[in-house]
Amino acid sequence: MPRFCLDDTIAALSTPPGVGGIGIVRLSGPDALPVARRLFVPANRQVALTPHTLTYGHIVDPSSGERIDEVLLVWMAAPRTYTRQDVVEIDAHGGPTATRAILALCLAAGARPALPGEFTLRAFLNGRLDLAQAEAVLDVVGARTEGALRVAVQQIDGRLSQRVRTVRQTLLEALAYLEASIDFEDDVEPRDIAPALADASETLRELLRQADQGMVYREGVRTAIVGRPNVGKSSLLNALLRADRAIVTSIPGTTRDTLEETCNVQGIPLLLVDTAGIVATDDQIERLGIERSLRAVAQADLVLLVFDGSAPATAADQQVAAKCAGKRCIVVVNKGDLPIVDEMASLLPMSPHITVSALTGEGLPELEALLVDVILGGEVADQTPLASNPRHREAFRRALESVYEVQRALYDGLSADLQSIDLTEAVQALGEVTGETASDVLLETIFGQFCIGK
Protein backbone atom coordinates (compact mmCIF):
# COMPACT_ATOMS: atom_id res chain seq x y z
CA MET A 1 0.00 0.00 0.00
CA PRO A 2 1.42 3.42 -0.89
CA ARG A 3 2.17 5.80 1.93
CA PHE A 4 -1.43 6.93 2.36
CA CYS A 5 -1.81 9.38 -0.53
CA LEU A 6 -5.09 11.34 -0.31
CA ASP A 7 -4.61 13.57 -3.34
CA ASP A 8 -5.70 11.16 -6.07
CA THR A 9 -9.08 9.63 -6.88
CA ILE A 10 -9.70 5.94 -6.34
CA ALA A 11 -12.37 3.64 -7.76
CA ALA A 12 -13.51 0.10 -7.02
CA LEU A 13 -16.43 -2.26 -7.22
CA SER A 14 -18.07 -2.16 -3.77
CA THR A 15 -20.44 -5.09 -4.16
CA PRO A 16 -19.43 -8.76 -4.39
CA PRO A 17 -18.43 -9.95 -7.85
CA GLY A 18 -20.95 -12.05 -9.73
CA VAL A 19 -24.63 -11.76 -10.62
CA GLY A 20 -26.89 -9.77 -8.31
CA GLY A 21 -29.63 -7.21 -8.15
CA ILE A 22 -27.27 -4.25 -8.35
CA GLY A 23 -23.56 -3.62 -8.65
CA ILE A 24 -22.05 -0.49 -7.11
CA VAL A 25 -18.94 1.24 -8.43
CA ARG A 26 -17.57 3.72 -5.90
CA LEU A 27 -15.18 6.64 -6.39
CA SER A 28 -13.54 8.81 -3.75
CA GLY A 29 -11.20 11.75 -4.10
CA PRO A 30 -10.95 15.29 -5.43
CA ASP A 31 -11.81 14.27 -8.99
CA ALA A 32 -14.63 11.85 -8.18
CA LEU A 33 -17.29 14.14 -9.65
CA PRO A 34 -15.32 15.18 -12.78
CA VAL A 35 -14.58 11.52 -13.54
CA ALA A 36 -18.25 10.62 -13.17
CA ARG A 37 -19.37 13.51 -15.36
CA ARG A 38 -17.21 12.24 -18.21
CA LEU A 39 -19.22 9.01 -18.22
CA PHE A 40 -22.69 9.79 -16.91
CA VAL A 41 -25.49 11.20 -19.04
CA PRO A 42 -28.68 12.10 -17.11
CA ALA A 43 -31.92 10.91 -18.67
CA ASN A 44 -33.17 14.49 -18.27
CA ARG A 45 -30.30 16.61 -19.49
CA GLN A 46 -31.82 19.65 -17.88
CA VAL A 47 -31.27 18.14 -14.43
CA ALA A 48 -28.09 19.20 -12.65
CA LEU A 49 -26.29 16.83 -10.33
CA THR A 50 -26.93 17.87 -6.74
CA PRO A 51 -25.25 16.43 -3.65
CA HIS A 52 -26.85 13.46 -1.88
CA THR A 53 -29.53 13.02 -4.54
CA LEU A 54 -30.00 10.00 -6.79
CA THR A 55 -30.05 10.86 -10.48
CA TYR A 56 -31.27 8.47 -13.17
CA GLY A 57 -29.34 8.14 -16.42
CA HIS A 58 -26.83 6.08 -18.38
CA ILE A 59 -23.12 5.37 -18.37
CA VAL A 60 -21.78 6.12 -21.84
CA ASP A 61 -18.36 5.27 -23.25
CA PRO A 62 -17.02 8.75 -24.14
CA SER A 63 -14.78 7.34 -26.88
CA SER A 64 -17.57 5.59 -28.81
CA GLY A 65 -20.81 7.04 -27.51
CA GLU A 66 -22.03 3.52 -26.68
CA ARG A 67 -24.40 3.12 -23.76
CA ILE A 68 -22.93 0.72 -21.23
CA ASP A 69 -25.75 0.49 -18.66
CA GLU A 70 -28.79 2.18 -17.18
CA VAL A 71 -27.81 3.46 -13.73
CA LEU A 72 -28.59 5.60 -10.73
CA LEU A 73 -25.78 7.95 -9.69
CA VAL A 74 -25.34 9.76 -6.41
CA TRP A 75 -22.71 12.40 -5.69
CA MET A 76 -21.93 12.95 -2.02
CA ALA A 77 -20.03 16.16 -1.42
CA ALA A 78 -17.26 16.38 1.16
CA PRO A 79 -17.15 16.37 4.10
CA ARG A 80 -20.52 14.60 4.60
CA THR A 81 -19.28 11.31 3.20
CA TYR A 82 -17.77 8.03 4.38
CA THR A 83 -14.23 9.16 3.47
CA ARG A 84 -14.79 12.92 4.06
CA GLN A 85 -13.85 13.37 0.43
CA ASP A 86 -16.12 13.77 -2.57
CA VAL A 87 -17.67 10.35 -3.19
CA VAL A 88 -19.63 9.13 -6.20
CA GLU A 89 -21.50 5.84 -6.26
CA ILE A 90 -22.87 4.38 -9.49
CA ASP A 91 -25.66 1.85 -8.96
CA ALA A 92 -25.69 -0.37 -12.02
CA HIS A 93 -27.29 -3.70 -12.83
CA GLY A 94 -25.55 -6.51 -10.97
CA GLY A 95 -23.99 -8.38 -13.87
CA PRO A 96 -20.21 -8.70 -13.80
CA THR A 97 -19.77 -7.52 -17.40
CA ALA A 98 -21.52 -4.20 -16.87
CA THR A 99 -19.82 -3.35 -13.59
CA ARG A 100 -16.38 -4.26 -14.92
CA ALA A 101 -16.98 -2.08 -17.96
CA ILE A 102 -18.06 0.88 -15.79
CA LEU A 103 -15.05 0.47 -13.51
CA ALA A 104 -12.73 0.33 -16.53
CA LEU A 105 -14.22 3.58 -17.86
CA CYS A 106 -13.70 5.25 -14.46
CA LEU A 107 -10.05 4.22 -14.50
CA ALA A 108 -9.62 5.43 -18.06
CA ALA A 109 -11.18 8.76 -17.07
CA GLY A 110 -8.57 9.48 -14.41
CA ALA A 111 -9.20 7.35 -11.32
CA ARG A 112 -6.85 4.64 -10.11
CA PRO A 113 -7.77 1.21 -8.69
CA ALA A 114 -8.41 1.31 -4.95
CA LEU A 115 -6.32 -0.94 -2.76
CA PRO A 116 -7.85 -3.23 -0.12
CA GLY A 117 -9.48 -1.15 2.61
CA GLU A 118 -8.46 2.16 1.06
CA PHE A 119 -11.88 3.79 1.39
CA THR A 120 -11.94 3.03 5.12
CA LEU A 121 -8.28 4.04 5.41
CA ARG A 122 -9.20 7.45 4.03
CA ALA A 123 -12.04 7.67 6.54
CA PHE A 124 -9.48 7.03 9.29
CA LEU A 125 -6.83 9.42 7.95
CA ASN A 126 -9.43 12.15 7.50
CA GLY A 127 -10.66 11.78 11.08
CA ARG A 128 -14.11 10.35 10.44
CA LEU A 129 -13.23 7.08 12.19
CA ASP A 130 -10.55 6.17 14.68
CA LEU A 131 -8.64 2.93 14.24
CA ALA A 132 -10.87 0.83 16.50
CA GLN A 133 -13.96 2.05 14.63
CA ALA A 134 -12.32 1.33 11.28
CA GLU A 135 -11.51 -2.24 12.33
CA ALA A 136 -15.11 -2.67 13.48
CA VAL A 137 -16.25 -1.99 9.92
CA LEU A 138 -14.51 -5.21 8.91
CA ASP A 139 -16.14 -7.01 11.84
CA VAL A 140 -19.60 -5.86 10.76
CA VAL A 141 -18.98 -7.28 7.30
CA GLY A 142 -17.76 -10.58 8.73
CA ALA A 143 -20.27 -10.95 11.59
CA ARG A 144 -21.74 -14.47 11.65
CA THR A 145 -24.37 -13.95 14.36
CA GLU A 146 -26.45 -11.13 15.77
CA GLY A 147 -24.25 -11.18 18.88
CA ALA A 148 -21.11 -10.57 16.82
CA LEU A 149 -22.94 -7.84 14.92
CA ARG A 150 -23.97 -6.06 18.13
CA VAL A 151 -20.37 -6.02 19.36
CA ALA A 152 -19.09 -4.63 16.06
CA VAL A 153 -21.81 -2.00 15.72
CA GLN A 154 -21.21 -0.52 19.15
CA GLN A 155 -17.49 -0.35 18.35
CA ILE A 156 -18.35 1.63 15.23
CA ASP A 157 -20.46 3.89 17.47
CA GLY A 158 -17.27 4.67 19.39
CA ARG A 159 -18.13 3.19 22.79
CA LEU A 160 -14.90 1.22 23.03
CA SER A 161 -12.86 4.18 21.80
CA GLN A 162 -14.43 6.47 24.41
CA ARG A 163 -13.56 4.03 27.20
CA VAL A 164 -10.00 3.63 25.94
CA ARG A 165 -9.48 7.37 25.57
CA THR A 166 -10.72 7.98 29.10
CA VAL A 167 -8.28 5.55 30.70
CA ARG A 168 -5.48 6.72 28.40
CA GLN A 169 -6.10 10.33 29.43
CA THR A 170 -5.86 9.27 33.09
CA LEU A 171 -2.47 7.71 32.42
CA LEU A 172 -1.33 10.67 30.31
CA GLU A 173 -2.03 13.04 33.19
CA ALA A 174 -0.04 10.84 35.56
CA LEU A 175 2.78 10.65 33.01
CA ALA A 176 2.78 14.42 32.58
CA TYR A 177 3.19 14.79 36.33
CA LEU A 178 6.09 12.32 36.41
CA GLU A 179 7.88 14.02 33.53
CA ALA A 180 7.38 17.45 35.07
CA SER A 181 8.71 16.23 38.39
CA ILE A 182 11.80 14.89 36.59
CA ASP A 183 12.48 18.16 34.75
CA PHE A 184 11.33 20.65 37.43
CA GLU A 185 11.72 18.74 40.67
CA ASP A 186 11.72 21.74 42.99
CA ASP A 187 8.82 23.55 41.29
CA VAL A 188 6.27 20.74 41.04
CA GLU A 189 3.79 20.24 43.84
CA PRO A 190 3.86 16.60 45.05
CA ARG A 191 0.97 14.45 43.83
CA ASP A 192 -0.10 10.92 44.63
CA ILE A 193 -0.69 9.08 41.35
CA ALA A 194 -1.58 5.78 43.05
CA PRO A 195 -5.37 6.37 42.89
CA ALA A 196 -5.17 7.14 39.17
CA LEU A 197 -3.16 3.97 38.57
CA ALA A 198 -5.67 1.94 40.58
CA ASP A 199 -8.58 3.31 38.53
CA ALA A 200 -6.74 2.63 35.29
CA SER A 201 -5.85 -0.94 36.23
CA GLU A 202 -9.45 -1.66 37.21
CA THR A 203 -10.72 -0.35 33.87
CA LEU A 204 -8.12 -2.33 31.93
CA ARG A 205 -9.01 -5.52 33.79
CA GLU A 206 -12.66 -4.98 32.86
CA LEU A 207 -11.75 -4.32 29.23
CA LEU A 208 -9.69 -7.51 29.16
CA ARG A 209 -12.54 -9.53 30.64
CA GLN A 210 -14.96 -8.10 28.10
CA ALA A 211 -12.46 -8.73 25.30
CA ASP A 212 -12.39 -12.42 26.23
CA GLN A 213 -16.18 -12.50 25.93
CA GLY A 214 -16.14 -10.44 22.76
CA MET A 215 -13.69 -12.82 21.12
CA VAL A 216 -16.24 -15.58 21.63
CA TYR A 217 -18.85 -13.62 19.67
CA ARG A 218 -16.35 -12.65 16.98
CA GLU A 219 -14.50 -15.91 16.40
CA GLY A 220 -16.85 -18.54 17.78
CA VAL A 221 -16.13 -21.68 19.77
CA ARG A 222 -14.86 -24.92 18.24
CA THR A 223 -17.00 -27.64 19.82
CA ALA A 224 -16.36 -31.37 19.34
CA ILE A 225 -19.23 -33.83 19.77
CA VAL A 226 -17.69 -37.13 20.90
CA GLY A 227 -18.71 -40.47 22.35
CA ARG A 228 -18.74 -44.17 21.57
CA PRO A 229 -20.72 -45.33 18.51
CA ASN A 230 -24.53 -45.09 18.44
CA VAL A 231 -25.01 -42.77 21.41
CA GLY A 232 -26.63 -40.09 19.23
CA LYS A 233 -23.80 -37.72 18.35
CA SER A 234 -25.01 -37.05 14.81
CA SER A 235 -28.60 -36.75 16.06
CA LEU A 236 -27.45 -34.12 18.54
CA LEU A 237 -25.63 -32.24 15.77
CA ASN A 238 -28.80 -32.22 13.66
CA ALA A 239 -30.89 -31.12 16.64
CA LEU A 240 -28.62 -28.17 17.43
CA LEU A 241 -28.53 -27.19 13.75
CA ARG A 242 -32.30 -27.64 13.35
CA ALA A 243 -31.45 -29.46 10.11
CA ASP A 244 -30.73 -33.02 8.92
CA ARG A 245 -27.09 -32.38 8.14
CA ALA A 246 -25.54 -35.64 9.35
CA ILE A 247 -26.68 -39.12 8.28
CA VAL A 248 -28.37 -40.92 11.18
CA THR A 249 -29.09 -44.66 11.27
CA SER A 250 -29.47 -47.35 13.91
CA ILE A 251 -26.30 -48.99 12.63
CA PRO A 252 -23.32 -48.27 14.94
CA GLY A 253 -20.40 -46.53 13.25
CA THR A 254 -22.43 -44.68 10.60
CA THR A 255 -20.15 -41.65 10.97
CA ARG A 256 -16.67 -42.52 9.70
CA ASP A 257 -15.20 -39.00 9.41
CA THR A 258 -15.52 -35.60 11.05
CA LEU A 259 -18.27 -33.26 9.87
CA GLU A 260 -18.17 -29.52 10.62
CA GLU A 261 -21.11 -27.12 10.71
CA THR A 262 -21.68 -23.73 12.34
CA CYS A 263 -24.74 -22.97 14.44
CA ASN A 264 -25.91 -19.88 16.32
CA VAL A 265 -26.47 -20.39 20.04
CA GLN A 266 -27.86 -17.21 21.60
CA GLY A 267 -25.65 -15.09 19.39
CA ILE A 268 -22.50 -17.17 19.85
CA PRO A 269 -21.19 -18.99 16.75
CA LEU A 270 -20.45 -22.63 17.54
CA LEU A 271 -18.38 -24.61 15.06
CA LEU A 272 -19.78 -28.07 15.76
CA VAL A 273 -17.55 -31.01 14.85
CA ASP A 274 -19.39 -34.33 14.63
CA THR A 275 -16.93 -37.19 15.08
CA ALA A 276 -16.71 -40.91 14.52
CA GLY A 277 -17.48 -43.09 17.52
CA ILE A 278 -14.41 -43.77 19.64
CA VAL A 279 -14.06 -47.51 20.22
CA ALA A 280 -11.39 -50.20 19.91
CA THR A 281 -11.53 -51.63 16.40
CA ASP A 282 -9.51 -53.61 13.87
CA ASP A 283 -11.20 -51.89 10.92
CA GLN A 284 -8.61 -49.67 9.18
CA ILE A 285 -11.17 -47.10 8.00
CA GLU A 286 -12.73 -46.89 11.47
CA ARG A 287 -9.30 -46.41 13.01
CA LEU A 288 -8.62 -43.48 10.69
CA GLY A 289 -11.94 -41.93 11.69
CA ILE A 290 -11.17 -42.43 15.39
CA GLU A 291 -7.77 -40.77 14.96
CA ARG A 292 -9.54 -37.75 13.48
CA SER A 293 -12.01 -37.80 16.36
CA LEU A 294 -9.15 -37.65 18.86
CA ARG A 295 -7.56 -34.77 16.93
CA ALA A 296 -10.90 -32.98 17.04
CA VAL A 297 -10.95 -33.37 20.83
CA ALA A 298 -7.42 -32.00 21.11
CA GLN A 299 -8.22 -28.98 18.93
CA ALA A 300 -11.61 -28.20 20.47
CA ASP A 301 -12.32 -25.26 22.78
CA LEU A 302 -15.24 -27.24 24.22
CA VAL A 303 -16.30 -30.90 24.15
CA LEU A 304 -19.84 -32.27 24.21
CA LEU A 305 -19.31 -35.77 25.60
CA VAL A 306 -22.39 -37.79 24.64
CA PHE A 307 -23.59 -40.93 26.43
CA ASP A 308 -26.62 -43.16 25.95
CA GLY A 309 -28.57 -42.78 29.18
CA SER A 310 -30.92 -45.65 28.28
CA ALA A 311 -28.11 -48.19 28.76
CA PRO A 312 -25.56 -48.73 31.54
CA ALA A 313 -22.15 -47.13 31.13
CA THR A 314 -19.70 -49.37 29.30
CA ALA A 315 -15.96 -49.73 29.30
CA ALA A 316 -15.97 -47.86 25.97
CA ASP A 317 -17.81 -44.95 27.65
CA GLN A 318 -15.18 -44.83 30.36
CA GLN A 319 -12.39 -44.88 27.77
CA VAL A 320 -13.97 -41.99 25.86
CA ALA A 321 -14.36 -40.02 29.10
CA ALA A 322 -10.68 -40.60 29.87
CA LYS A 323 -9.75 -39.14 26.46
CA CYS A 324 -11.64 -35.95 27.36
CA ALA A 325 -10.14 -35.49 30.82
CA GLY A 326 -8.60 -32.06 31.19
CA LYS A 327 -10.78 -30.48 28.48
CA ARG A 328 -13.57 -28.00 29.09
CA CYS A 329 -16.48 -30.39 28.76
CA ILE A 330 -20.25 -30.80 29.06
CA VAL A 331 -21.54 -34.32 29.64
CA VAL A 332 -24.69 -34.86 27.57
CA VAL A 333 -26.81 -37.85 28.62
CA ASN A 334 -28.81 -38.51 25.45
CA LYS A 335 -32.00 -40.50 24.73
CA GLY A 336 -33.92 -38.83 27.52
CA ASP A 337 -37.15 -39.84 25.79
CA LEU A 338 -36.41 -43.41 26.95
CA PRO A 339 -36.22 -44.62 30.56
CA ILE A 340 -32.92 -43.42 31.96
CA VAL A 341 -30.89 -46.37 33.26
CA ASP A 342 -27.62 -44.54 33.98
CA GLU A 343 -27.12 -40.80 34.54
CA MET A 344 -23.37 -41.21 34.09
CA ALA A 345 -22.69 -39.23 37.26
CA SER A 346 -19.41 -41.07 37.84
CA LEU A 347 -18.01 -40.05 34.45
CA LEU A 348 -16.24 -36.66 34.54
CA PRO A 349 -18.04 -35.66 37.77
CA MET A 350 -16.40 -32.19 37.77
CA SER A 351 -18.04 -31.31 34.42
CA PRO A 352 -21.67 -30.18 34.17
CA HIS A 353 -24.14 -32.93 33.22
CA ILE A 354 -27.43 -32.53 31.36
CA THR A 355 -30.04 -34.96 30.04
CA VAL A 356 -31.53 -34.37 26.59
CA SER A 357 -33.35 -36.14 23.82
CA ALA A 358 -31.87 -35.34 20.44
CA LEU A 359 -34.85 -37.18 18.92
CA THR A 360 -37.64 -35.12 20.54
CA GLY A 361 -35.75 -31.92 21.38
CA GLU A 362 -36.36 -32.33 25.10
CA GLY A 363 -33.65 -30.53 27.08
CA LEU A 364 -32.15 -28.70 24.08
CA PRO A 365 -33.04 -25.17 25.32
CA GLU A 366 -31.43 -26.04 28.66
CA LEU A 367 -28.37 -27.40 26.84
CA GLU A 368 -28.03 -24.19 24.85
CA ALA A 369 -28.28 -22.10 28.02
CA LEU A 370 -25.64 -24.30 29.64
CA LEU A 371 -23.39 -23.91 26.59
CA VAL A 372 -23.53 -20.12 26.89
CA ASP A 373 -22.91 -20.30 30.64
CA VAL A 374 -19.86 -22.56 30.23
CA ILE A 375 -18.45 -20.62 27.27
CA LEU A 376 -18.69 -17.29 29.06
CA GLY A 377 -17.30 -18.74 32.28
CA GLY A 378 -20.54 -18.30 34.21
CA GLU A 379 -20.47 -14.57 33.55
CA VAL A 380 -23.31 -14.11 31.11
CA ALA A 381 -22.89 -10.50 30.07
CA ASP A 382 -25.75 -8.16 30.97
CA GLN A 383 -24.47 -5.86 28.26
CA THR A 384 -22.72 -6.30 24.93
CA PRO A 385 -18.94 -6.61 25.37
CA LEU A 386 -17.04 -3.52 24.28
CA ALA A 387 -14.06 -5.28 22.71
CA SER A 388 -13.71 -8.33 20.48
CA ASN A 389 -10.49 -7.83 18.51
CA PRO A 390 -7.43 -9.93 19.44
CA ARG A 391 -5.18 -6.95 18.65
CA HIS A 392 -7.08 -4.83 21.14
CA ARG A 393 -6.97 -7.55 23.78
CA GLU A 394 -3.19 -7.80 23.42
CA ALA A 395 -2.88 -4.00 23.71
CA PHE A 396 -4.97 -4.03 26.90
CA ARG A 397 -2.81 -6.82 28.31
CA ARG A 398 0.39 -4.90 27.60
CA ALA A 399 -1.04 -1.70 29.04
CA LEU A 400 -2.21 -3.46 32.21
CA GLU A 401 1.16 -5.14 32.72
CA SER A 402 2.90 -1.78 32.32
CA VAL A 403 0.56 -0.17 34.86
CA TYR A 404 1.30 -3.00 37.29
CA GLU A 405 5.03 -2.30 36.82
CA VAL A 406 4.46 1.39 37.65
CA GLN A 407 2.49 0.43 40.75
CA ARG A 408 5.30 -1.87 41.89
CA ALA A 409 7.88 0.84 41.23
CA LEU A 410 5.79 3.33 43.18
CA TYR A 411 5.44 0.91 46.10
CA ASP A 412 9.18 0.19 46.08
CA GLY A 413 10.00 3.89 46.03
CA LEU A 414 11.79 3.81 42.68
CA SER A 415 12.56 7.05 40.88
CA ALA A 416 10.07 8.96 38.72
CA ASP A 417 12.10 8.38 35.56
CA LEU A 418 11.83 4.59 36.01
CA GLN A 419 8.10 4.90 36.65
CA SER A 420 7.67 7.02 33.54
CA ILE A 421 9.22 4.35 31.27
CA ASP A 422 6.49 1.82 32.02
CA LEU A 423 3.76 4.46 32.05
CA THR A 424 4.86 5.59 28.58
CA GLU A 425 4.54 2.01 27.36
CA ALA A 426 1.00 1.79 28.73
CA VAL A 427 0.01 5.02 27.00
CA GLN A 428 1.63 3.79 23.78
CA ALA A 429 -0.27 0.48 23.88
CA LEU A 430 -3.64 2.18 24.35
CA GLY A 431 -2.86 4.65 21.58
CA GLU A 432 -2.42 1.72 19.21
CA VAL A 433 -6.06 0.76 19.79
CA THR A 434 -7.54 4.07 18.68
CA GLY A 435 -4.72 4.99 16.30
CA GLU A 436 -2.95 7.87 18.01
CA THR A 437 0.31 5.90 18.16
CA ALA A 438 -0.25 3.44 15.30
CA SER A 439 2.71 2.96 12.96
CA ASP A 440 2.48 2.91 9.18
CA VAL A 441 3.29 -0.81 9.23
CA LEU A 442 0.38 -1.46 11.61
CA LEU A 443 -2.00 0.54 9.42
CA GLU A 444 -0.90 -1.36 6.31
CA THR A 445 -1.42 -4.66 8.12
CA ILE A 446 -4.91 -3.74 9.35
CA PHE A 447 -6.30 -2.22 6.19
CA GLY A 448 -4.72 -4.90 4.02
CA GLN A 449 -7.25 -7.32 5.53
CA PHE A 450 -10.18 -5.42 4.01
CA CYS A 451 -11.77 -6.26 0.70
CA ILE A 452 -11.23 -3.93 -2.24
CA GLY A 453 -14.06 -1.44 -2.36
CA LYS A 454 -14.50 -1.06 1.42
pLDDT, tens digit (0-9, with 9 covering 90-100), for 173-190: 999 989 888 877 666 678
Residue 26 has pLDDT above 90, yes or no: yes
Q: Is CATH 3.30.1360.120 the classification given to domain 10-129?
A: yes
> Is-contact 372 381, C-beta < 8 A?
no
User: What is the per-residue pLDDT across 202-254, written as a single tens digit (0 to 9) for each?
Assistant: 999 999 988 988 888 888 899 999 888 888 888 899 889 886 654 444 544 44
User: What is the per-residue pLDDT across 60-83, written as a single tens digit (0 to 9) for each?
Assistant: 999 999 999 999 999 999 999 999
For the chain, the domains span: 10-129, 137-214+389-434, 220-375
Q: Which fold has domain 220-375?
A: Rossmann fold (3.40.50)
User: What is the per-residue pLDDT across 91-106, written as a single tens digit (0 to 9) for each?
Assistant: 999 888 999 999 999 9
Q: At what angle do helices 416-434 and 159-183 cross, to 10 degrees?
A: 160
Q: How far does Cα 311 stand from its chain's mean position? A: 42
> Is-contact 330 347, C-beta < 8 A?
no
Residue 284, pLDDT score: 57
Mean pLDDT of the chain, nearest integer: 88
Residue 254, pLDDT score: 45
Residue 255, pLDDT score: 46
Q: At 320, is the pLDDT very low, low, confident or very high (cuts 50, 70, 90)?
A: confident
Range of lowest pLDDT (266-275, 298-307, 374-383, 421-430): 374-383
Q: What percent of the chain has pLDDT over 90?
A: 52
DSSP 203-230: HHHHHHHHHHHHHHHHH-EEEEEE-STT
Q: At 304, is the pLDDT very low, low, confident or very high (cuts 50, 70, 90)?
A: very high
Do 220-375 and 137-214+389-434 fall under one CATH topology?
A: no
What is the rounded average pLDDT of the residues 7-35? 93
Task: State how far the alpha carbon of 290 is from the alpha carbons of 275, 293, 330, in Å.
Answer: 8, 5, 20
Residue 424, pLDDT score: 96
Higher pLDDT, 165 or 143: 165
> Is-contact 236 363, C-beta < 8 A?
no
Residue 374, pLDDT score: 92
User: What is the per-residue pLDDT across 262-278, written as a single tens digit (0 to 9) for each?
Assistant: 888 888 888 988 887 66
Residue 383, pLDDT score: 62
Q: Nearest Cα to 278, choosing from 290, 292, 295, 260?
A: 290
Q: Is 90 helix (H, G, I), strand (E, B) or coil?
A: strand
Could you give phi then psi for residue 169, rounded to 5 degrees? -65, -40
User: What is the per-residue pLDDT across 349-383, written as a single tens digit (0 to 9) for each?
Assistant: 999 999 999 999 999 999 999 999 998 876 555 56
- In terms of Cβ atoms closer than 10 Å to its own Cβ (0-12, 13-18, 19+), residue 183 is exposed
Residue 393, pLDDT score: 95
Residue 319, pLDDT score: 86
State which CATH number among 1.10.645.10, 1.20.1050.10, 1.20.120.430, 1.10.1660.10 fits the domain covering 137-214+389-434. 1.20.120.430
Q: Nearest Cα to 10, choosing from 87, 62, 93?
A: 87
Q: pTM to 2 decimals?
A: 0.80
Given the DSSP bridges, would you call strands 221-226 and 54-60 parallel, antiparallel or unpaired? unpaired
Range of lowest pLDDT (100-114, 277-291, 325-339): 277-291
